[in-house]
């Protein structure tokens, strides 16, 4: 299996390179705006998949190239506008596109189960989401927090309060707090290494390489 990595020079791009090597997946193209030896600025040939950890603008440029070459695209970048998301949905009519705000298997299990818990607890419980990331993360709230909030609102009709913290070198923490008079329930996912997201993206690329055109998420990948 051969993949391309967009955003190859970034922290996550480097983690994906490591994960690919450990999984026996060949990285056939390193793509980034940074001019470094062995790094190119665009996707030129069809591969089994492209994994993107870059920026919304760079991701959409590569997505257009994926459509032209028929390459499945794993989009792991966050911070897209509604108009940009519409462009992703349009591309997914022509090629397989996996678009997920978080590539961790653990977080995606939260996406499945937390809305069920919120629905069971009912209106007596306040719902808050607190997300903490490193000081260099550009978007706030995080894509993961937005997805959690959207799924909770869809299940309950109530919009959770979302709080963002940007501090130090925190890889990523998401706390879902259910509070009422008398008790509090907290569910926490804490990422201690970027490797979990990188490994998830490789799993997603393997799965997507044989999928039909359409828009998918990590919820389609995990059992």
Residue of 94, 137, 138, 146 marked catalytic: 137
139, 78 Cβ separation under 8 angstroms: yes
CA 12 to chain centre: 11
Residue 66 to residue 33: CA distance in whole angstroms: 17
133 labelled catalytic: yes
Contact in structure between 74 and 95 (CB atoms under 8 Å): no
137 is catalytic: yes
d(CA 82, CA 98): 17
Catalytic residue from among 133, 146, 189, 199:
133
For residues 147 and 162, the answer to whether their CB atoms sit within 8 Å is no
The β-bridge partners of 31 are 6, 40
Report the alpha-carbon distance of residue 6 to residue 13 in Å, rounded.
7
Task: Report the C-alpha gap between 60 and 137 in whole angstroms.
Answer: 19
The structure tokens listed for 97 are: 């596109």
Task: Decide: 103 and 136 in contact? Cβ < 8 Å.
Answer: no
Kindly state the greatest CA–CA separation across the chain: 60
Q: Which active-site residues does the annotation give?
A: 133, 137
């Amino acid at each position: 299996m051969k993949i391309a990595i967009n955003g190859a020079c970034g922290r996550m791009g480097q983690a994906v390179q490591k994960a690919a090597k450990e999984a026996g997946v060949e990285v056939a193209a390193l793509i980034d705006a940074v001019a470094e030896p062995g790094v190119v600025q665009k996707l030129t040939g069809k591969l089994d998949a492209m994994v993107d950890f870059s920026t919304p603008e760079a991701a959409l440029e590569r997505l257009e190239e994926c459509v032209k070459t028929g390459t499945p695209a794993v989009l792991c970048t966050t911070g897209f506008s509604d108009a940009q998301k519409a462009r992703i949905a349009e591309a997914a009519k022509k090629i397989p596109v996996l678009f997920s705000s978080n590539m961790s298997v653990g977080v995606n299990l939260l996406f499945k189960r937390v809305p069920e818990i919120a629905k069971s607890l009912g209106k007596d419980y306040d719902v808050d989401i607190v997300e903490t990331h490193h000081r260099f993360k550009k978007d706030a709230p995080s894509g993961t927090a937005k997805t959690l909030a959207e799924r909770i609102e869809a299940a309950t009709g109530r919009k959770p309060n979302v709080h963002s913290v940007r501090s130090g070198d925190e890889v990523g923490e998401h706390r879902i707090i259910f509070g009422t008079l008398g008790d509090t329930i907290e569910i926490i996912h804490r990422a201690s290494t970027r490797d979990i997201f990188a490994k998830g993206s490789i799993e997603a690329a393997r799965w997507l390489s044989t999928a039909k055109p359409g828009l998918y998420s990590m919820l389609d990948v995990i059992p």
